[in-house]
A and B are shown apart, each in its own frame.
Chain A
Amino acid sequence: DGGITQSPKYLFRKEGQNVTLSCEQNLNHDAMYWYRQDPGQGLRLIYYSQIVNDFQKGDIAEGYSVSREKKESFPLTVTSAQKNPTAFYLCASSRGVRPSLSQETQYFGPGTRLLVL
């Protein structure tokens, strides 16, 4: 069945360590997104990609990096430069066809909860 998967469900990071969160989709969607959610705050966009081999910074990209080498995969690396990484990380995807003219619903994966040791 089609959908978006994220792994792991929980991830622990030590000080100064880089960690990578996985996001895979088999919906044949062109666009993919990474959000961060903190308690009492809305989802904030970290990075997004509208097509393979291309991605754009969102509102809070500092301390994060991404790659988009394959259509179905959009991994997020939380680097040691991100000083407050504890949060719930959500990956989403959408078809990516001319969003200015259409309903372009984003569908979310189950999320990864990152905790700092």
Chain B
Amino acid sequence: GQNIDQPTEMTATEGAIVQINCTYQTSGFNGLFWYQQHAGEAPTFLSYNVLDGLEEKGRFSSFLSRSKGYSYLLLKELQMKDSASYLCAPRPMGGGNKLTFGTGTQLKVEL
């Protein structure tokens, strides 16, 4: 089975750095995606990790440790528009391109 754990809510200040953690247990592992979803809108792709380490993309970075079943999304220089839900989605092995989504972390950025 699949089990994904993310904090439900986080609050941070504009301009700060925030780290959103995700732990997972899947049937094999074939990469992990992070998506951003604003309220009432579709999820949009942020990052993909398949090997251990840090992938940096502008203000957003994503880290993966396969041995620990752990990933995090790092958001720097927070802006008000970063207030959204962040979804961790590991891809199990052998399921084609099926993803398993966590419940998401609702991030609120305050002044």
A residues sitting closer than 8 Å to B (CB atoms) are: 31, 35, 40-45, 48, 50, 56, 58, 88, 90, 94, 96, 99-100, 103-111
Interface centre among B30, B87, B96, B104 (most CB of A within 10 A): B96
Q: Quick check: B43 and A58 within 8 Å, CB to CB? A: no
Which residues from B are CB-within-8-Å of A88? 40
Which residues from B are CB-within-8-Å of A48? 96-98
Q: Quick check: A103 and B50 within 8 Å, CB to CB? A: yes
Q: Quick check: B97 and A106 within 8 Å, CB to CB? A: yes
Q: Quick check: B96 and A50 within 8 Å, CB to CB? A: yes
Q: Quick check: B97 and A42 within 8 Å, CB to CB? A: no
C-alpha spacing A117/B4, complex, angstroms? 34
B residues sitting closer than 8 Å to A (CB atoms) are: 4, 30-31, 33, 40-45, 48, 50, 87, 91, 93, 96-104
**Nearest B residue (CB) for A6:** B42
Q: Quick check: B103 and A41 within 8 Å, CB to CB? A: yes
**Nearest B residue (CB) for A42:** B101
Which residues from A are CB-within-8-Å of B102? 42
Which residues from A are CB-within-8-Å of B100? 42
Q: Which of A40, A42, A45 contacts B98 (CB 8 A)?
A: A45
Interface centre among A31, A43, A109 (most CB of B within 10 A): A43
A47 to chain B, nearest CB (A): 11
**Nearest B residue (CB) for A31:** B97
Q: Which of B4, B43, B104 contacts A108 (CB 8 A)?
A: B43
Q: Quick check: B104 and A42 within 8 Å, CB to CB? A: yes
C-alpha spacing A6/B97, complex, angstroms? 21
Q: Quick check: A43 and B30 within 8 Å, CB to CB? A: no
**Nearest B residue (CB) for A97:** B97
Which residues from B are CB-within-8-Å of A45? 98-99
Q: Quick check: A90 and B42 within 8 Å, CB to CB? A: yes
C-alpha spacing A100/B41, complex, angstroms? 29
Which residues from B are CB-within-8-Å of A99? 30, 91, 96-97
Known interface pairs A90-B42, A100-B30, A108-B43. Does A43 touch B96 (Cβ–Cβ under 8 Å)? Answer: no
